[in-house]
Amino acid sequence: MKPLKGRIALVAGATRGAGRGIATMLGEAGATVYCTGRSVRGRLASGDKRQETIDETAELVTAKGGKGIAIRVDHSVEAEVVALCDRIRGEQGRLDILVNDIWGGEQLVEFGPPFWMQDPKKGQLMLERAIFTHLLTSRYAVPLMVEKNSGLVVEITDGDHFGYRGSLWYDLVKMTVIRLAFGMSRDLRRTNVTALAVTPGFLRSEEMLDAFGVTEATWRDGTKVDKDFISSESPSFVGRAVAALAADPDVKAKAGRVFSSWDLAREYGFTDLDGSQPHWAEYFERTYGTPYNVAKDTAYTAWLNSPIDVVRPNWPTW
């Protein structure tokens, strides 16, 4: 069964990580998925640091049973976003699902030093790449939904709580993305367009797998580096979370809130690709003896500042 057959989706930031996982799982559910980002074959936005491209993502979408369409877009450039939305309007006449997963902060986050010792230029660029791009994309994509009085906007964040995320600029970005979903939901409240936020757990992105020296097939070996990796999830897990939300006829009831992949898995009954159903919050509380989502989560901060920080500056990558 393909519950999203005939539906049109845009995953902004689909090059790798959660974006790729979401795009491919929307394809698995039958959707046509526009996969955007800055890395295409022969023109990698990250130079030689990462080899993933939106072309590969689109091919994976098609292989899963959907239709993948790759379009290079810099979502910080208004003209490129306008051209993208005009193309979707011209080719499809509608847009049913928008996923804002634009990030681009892998090399900008500074975990460890307090904010007064961090580079403000990196922080400013992070805000531009991971917040302004979401606003700009929604500004021009959401009208396609409002015209049909139907659609789902998903903001991808890190965490479903108010606890500190280990770095002021990073924390500000991820909390702001949640607020974007809430704010959009208020403006959309008299329509049938729903805006909400979704977080993955400990994500086994391509970059994380490389950092741990494992592959998706051998990911459990990563527990030799970090025991918490046993509760990690593949990008397809959060992808199935978004697909489940998009297929839910009552998703409007969730407007303006933030949801985790692990809670949505329990609600909708989906699993990760290996059949598991990781629950990051339960694992965290069991391991560290404190709730994952408490306001004063000292254990979470200690976890972020643990010796594994030699790897975690590149985590998470969505």
- In the chain, domain spans: 8-313
User: From the CB of residue 67, how many other CB atoms can be counted at a distance below 10 Å?
Assistant: 14
Please name the amino acid found at residue 151: G
Question: pTM here?
Answer: 0.91
CATH topology of domain 8-313: Rossmann fold (3.40.50)
Two tokens, residue 48: 């030689």
Spatial distance between the Cα atoms of 313 and 302, rounded to a whole number of angstroms:
15
Coil, helix or strand at residue 213? coil
User: Is the pLDDT confidence value at 99 over 90?
Assistant: yes
Mean pLDDT computed over 278-284: 94
Helix locations, 64-205, DSSP H:
78-92, 120-127, 133-148, 168-187
Residue 33's pLDDT is 98
pLDDT tens digits, 292-318: 765 344 544 554 555 444 344 334 433
Cis check for the bond before 316: say yes or no (omega within 30 of 0): yes
pLDDT tens digits, 45-84: 876 678 899 999 999 999 999 999 999 999 999 999 999 9
**Least confident segment among 42-56, 131-145, 229-243, 261-275:** 42-56
Residue in the structure block whose two tokens are 């965290």: 284
Backbone angles phi, psi at 22, to 5 degrees: -65, -45
Provide the mean pLDDT of the chain.
91
Backbone angles phi, psi at 250, to 5 degrees: -105, 25
Coil, helix or strand at residue 150? coil
Residue in the structure block whose two tokens are 């936005």: 45
Spatial distance between the Cα atoms of 27 and 266, rounded to a whole number of angstroms:
22
